[in-house]
Structure 1
């Protein structure tokens, strides 16, 4: 692509913003052009092209390229555009692209920045990458303080840029201060108000600030009903509080009440995404730290414990079945209903636990509402179990006209009652365990994985054989 016509063709290459997870065919030509430039080693031409693109579009391009091409392109990008692109990439993609040479590049960039700006950029990186960069910048105290906060806390994700003014300041002075800080902070939704000692006393929304007369003291329009969190507050709790109070930003204060940062709307969105991804992995019986680019050893280390836990549960269920060997020998037909019972127990438990985890995560499950919720789960489980049991019992009776069954009425009764009891008990276990785990400080999403499935399998098999022994073989 060295001719004038080729250059003109390259200038015409553009990218159409793609909806989430929906690649557009019209971008295929741009993908091909970029791939050709990468293969040909035409770095300068490609960089000139991408400088005209929005960072979000460059991010989408990177995720559509093959990994080796994406890495090369990322290394080619100049420092400033590459940082903007990193800010738009999801953590799993960013961790793939980060290599030693790239970390050194960002180290050089951060080393020359104002500490506040460096901290803001570090907040855009995945925690592991940010920690690595902080270790290389440990001579800068203000940046190093970020590493002093535990993972997944407000201190780790908070922005340290904000507008804080004393109560005696007028709205006119506040607006002037906002204009002066606009380039540094970029998006200002709230002005924080402090007392003479610098402690946070309230907030003023920008809209109200602009509508008030210019000589109005902030103390006259301040909202003193302000929710704050400490730097060591878990980020999931910060998100829960923000949703409950419908807050766009959450102020972070020190133990003395001084404002030290704020959790921005962008960080709240990222926390929601991170927590949802972690819960999804835990619910699937996978470590919350698992990533698509994990090595084989990491995959084994993060999945094997869950598989072994499932193996223990399955072994216990098998032991229960083995203990009823005589009953199975006496009535082999019982073996046909074991998978049905285990499946119903697992499904009922997963449904109830999923709803409980969702209620805990969104804050919809209040402490005073727990008993009422559990009673509703019990009533619904009884109805579901009765209906499922009635259907299964009816199928057994219908099958007895085609296949010879011994005492079909008693078999129908035993299977019906077992489904009723199994569904009810599994639903109650599924609804209760996440609440208990949350109360003792364990992520309730862990309950939906191996624990609920294994425990309900064991309970399901045990209840089935108890019912079969009592009502069919007794």
Structure 2
């Protein structure tokens, strides 16, 4: 264990994955008592050398009213770092009752894109009031005109854009002058007299080009840009497909207005992955760890009820074969096996389809080929599973009495072959159909795939049992 923040009589032990450590209990009690006693200056002095991550962990461990009070005590500089370390769900909670002026002082010390990201966590009226008072009010206000999760909302406004007639030597000088402001420059954007994007020049190519060449001569004219209104997930898909480090953003007139940086592309990928994971688990994409009971119930109950309806349909199918079960009770032992294989096969196929759609690796031109591959693989997997189950049935018949084990082995193995094949095809095609009609395909992996394959699995099992074992 490492002591990551330390001062006289005040020690904080870094908590892994926000798991509370008993070693911090005394510190929490001491800080709580100092907050109650109004010992602002003493507490701020003790926390002066704390790492922002430790301050964030402390704030999330305190009661909300104490956390808000402590945050208001923190001077603007440390508060900026604490805001950066805070998870989005905590930012809006902790700063909900802070004054507009203090928030303005804190956000004024951030880059406009970082300030904009934090403003997104506030209620709309509060965000607008703060934005009007920020030094970069035009930049922040411009971003606020775009929809959430759009390229315009997340783009960076710092970039190097030069005219086509600019010489290479002048471009290099411009890059040097902008280096401190932009920090990382990978690409120089080339624009015409109206500010419209016409090409790009990589910095490496620029350094090797003759000093007297114009940018219009050496630029790459095959430039890919995205609209400021484009959804961030589509931006990520284009960046991956074209192997782009940064993505230029243009307005409706084709003028360059910003760029999506590698940092922002990574952030989009993480956010979309978390959203897909929640949808795949049958949860709302808005679900958070600190949701109230009401929000938890509202987000989860519809999915649970959908699963209940599907299970009820499967139970109805089983009930309709009551006579067959009465004639051969041993069939009931194979129902869970069939449903499990159907669910797993469907989830595997749908997960691959969703991943292909998300990354852009699944193109419309090769859908038929991919489905044929899924069909072949599913038939091989189903045949292997059926053969193993048939062997198990025959082996068990030597130990326990099983009526006509050969026919039972044939019925169960055929059911697994058909179930695995059909479930895989449903799992592979449903995400494609949902994507075609504009629904997030990650939704297919949760309740829909499991429920549909359970029903189909049970139905196929009894058809095979009736045909090969009871027929």
Query: Under TM normalisation by the shorter chain, which class is it?
Result: 0.7 to 0.9
Q: Deviations over 1:157-177 (max 9, x none)?
A: 112232211112223333443
Within 2, Cα distance between the matches of 1:445 and 1:458? 21
Indicate if the aligned counterparts of 2:7 and 2:49 stay in contact, CA closer than 8 A. Answer: no
Indicate if the aligned counterparts of 1:162 and 1:261 stay in contact, CA closer than 8 A. Answer: yes
Root mean square deviation, CA, Å: 3.1
Indicate if the aligned counterparts of 1:392 and 1:415 stay in contact, CA closer than 8 A. Answer: yes
1:350 aligns with 2:347: yes
Indicate how the Cα distance of structure 1 residues 52 and 435 shifts in structure 2: closer, same or farther if over 3 A, else same: same
Indicate how the Cα distance of structure 1 residues 223 and 59 shifts in structure 2: closer, same or farther if over 3 A, else same: farther
Secondary structure of the residue aligned to 1:129 is coil
Within 2, Cα distance between the matches of 1:92 and 1:287? 15
Within 2, Cα distance between the matches of 1:172 and 1:13? 56
Stretches of structure 1 that go unaligned for 5 or more consecutive residues are 1-8
- What does 1:47-86 align with in structure 2 at a 5 Å threshold? 47-48=44-45, 50-52=47-49, 55=52, 58-59=55-56, 65-66=61-62, 68=64, 71-86=68-83
Question: 2:115 pairs with 101, 122, 136, which one?
Answer: 122
Question: 2:30 pairs with 27, 36, 46, which one?
Answer: 36
Match of 1:248 in 2: 245
Indicate how the Cα distance of structure 1 residues 458 and 372 shifts in structure 2: closer, same or farther if over 3 A, else same: same
1:418 aligns with 2:415: yes
Within 2, Cα distance between the matches of 1:182 and 1:54? 28
1:439 aligns with 2:423: no
Secondary structure of the residue aligned to 1:193 is strand
- What does 1:247-326 align with in structure 2 at a 5 Å threshold? 247-326=244-323
Stretches of structure 2 that go unaligned for 5 or more consecutive residues are 1-5
- What does 1:2-41 align with in structure 2 at a 5 Å threshold? 10=7, 21=17, 36-41=30-35
Within 1, Cα distance between the matches of 2:18 and 2:130? 39
Q: CA deviation at 1:185?
A: 3.2
Secondary structure of the residue aligned to 2:122 is helix
Secondary structure of the residue aligned to 2:282 is coil
Question: 2:225 pairs with 225, 228, 235, which one?
Answer: 228
Match of 2:3 in 1: none
Match of 1:365 in 2: 362
- Which shows bigger deviation, 191-200 or 157-166? 157-166
Within 1, Cα distance between the matches of 2:327 and 2:100? 69
Secondary structure of the residue aligned to 1:192 is strand
Indicate how the Cα distance of structure 1 residues 168 and 133 shifts in structure 2: closer, same or farther if over 3 A, else same: farther
Within 2, Cα distance between the matches of 1:423 and 1:432? 14
Q: Deviations over 1:29-49 (max 9, x none)?
A: 889657634543354344345
- Which shows bigger deviation, 74-83 or 393-402? 74-83
Secondary structure of the residue aligned to 2:258 is strand
Match of 1:4 in 2: none
Secondary structure of the residue aligned to 2:80 is helix
Indicate if the aligned counterparts of 2:239 and 2:247 stay in contact, CA closer than 8 A. Answer: yes
- Which shows bigger deviation, 461-470 or 130-139? 130-139
- Which shows bigger deviation, 364-373 or 136-145? 136-145
Match of 1:200 in 2: 197
TM-score, structure 1 normalization: 0.86
Indicate if the aligned counterparts of 1:137 and 1:144 stay in contact, CA closer than 8 A. Answer: no
Question: 1:452 pairs with 434, 445, 449, which one?
Answer: 449
Match of 1:341 in 2: 338
Q: Deviations over 1:210-262 (max 9, x none)?
A: 44455443223322222100012111111111122222221110122101111
Indicate if the aligned counterparts of 1:91 and 1:126 stay in contact, CA closer than 8 A. Answer: no
Within 2, Cα distance between the matches of 1:271 and 1:131? 22
Within 2, Cα distance between the matches of 1:130 and 1:167? 43
Match of 1:3 in 2: none
Q: CA deviation at 1:188?
A: 2.9
Q: CA deviation at 1:368?
A: 2.0
Number of aligned positions between the proteins: 458
Q: Deviations over 1:417-470 (max 9, x none)?
A: 111100111011111111222222211111100000000000001001111111
Q: CA deviation at 1:345?
A: 0.4
Within 2, Cα distance between the matches of 1:362 and 1:47? 47
TM-score, structure 2 normalization: 0.87
Within 2, Cα distance between the matches of 1:161 and 1:208? 21
Match of 1:393 in 2: 390
Match of 1:331 in 2: 328
